[in-house]
Structure 1
Amino acid sequence: MGVLRVLSKRGDDRLTWDEQKFQMNDPEATAAVREAERIFAETRARGATAFRVEPGKPTQRIDQFDPTAQQILIVPRVVGG
């Protein structure tokens, strides 16, 4: 199961998809992945940073959406003042 987590002032928003069903072209899983790709691109365009998070492995910064990632965490740009 893949998860896209987007941190925000509301907490974190989550979108999930089943990678195996996506590989089998399941319409629901494909729609979820397309929405996750859209959110990923939109937040990255606004300056957010994305990380691939997997248990037992170091967190890895990513620049492209990966539907095979177990978890993608998006952190918005921090604005100081």
Structure 2
Amino acid sequence: MGMLRVMSRRGDDRIIWDAQKVEAQDSEAVAAIREAERIFTDERKKGATAFKVEPGKTVERIDKFDRTAEQIVLVPRVVGG
């Protein structure tokens, strides 16, 4: 299972997909991963930072969507003033 978490002032929004079902071309799983990729791309264009989080491994900053990642966390750009 993969998960995209988008941090916001409401907490976090989550999109979940099953990589095995994506490989089997399950229509719901394919739609979920496409939505996750779209959100990832849109948020990165707005300046969000993305991290790949996997148990037992160091958190890794990423610039491209990784559909094999167990969890991707998007942190929006912080604007102060």
Query: Which residue pairs with 1:13 in the alignment?
Result: 13
Residue equivalent to 2:60: 60
TM-score by length of 2: 0.98
Equivalent position of 2:32 in the other structure: 32
Mapped to 2, the partners of 1:76 and 1:60 lie a distance apart of 16
1:79 Cα offset (Å): 1.0
Aligned length: 81
Residue aligned with 2:5, SS: strand
State the distance in 2 between where 1:75 and 1:35 align. 17
Alpha-carbon RMSD: 0.5
SS of equivalent to 2:51:
strand
Correspondence 1:69 to 2:66: no
Structure 1 residues 39-73: Cα deviation after superposition (integer angstroms, max 9, x where no partner): 00000000000000001000000011011100000
Query: Percentage identity across aligned positions?
Result: 67
Q: Which amino acid aligns with 1:18?
A: D
Where 2:36 maps in the other structure, the secondary structure is helix
Unaligned runs of 5+ residues in structure 1 are none
User: What is the Cα deviation at residue 78 of structure 1?
Assistant: 0.8
**C-alpha distance in 1 between matches for 2:63 and 2:8:** 19
Name the amino acid aligned to 2:77.
Answer: R
Alpha-carbon distance in 2 for matches of 1:40, 1:69: 13
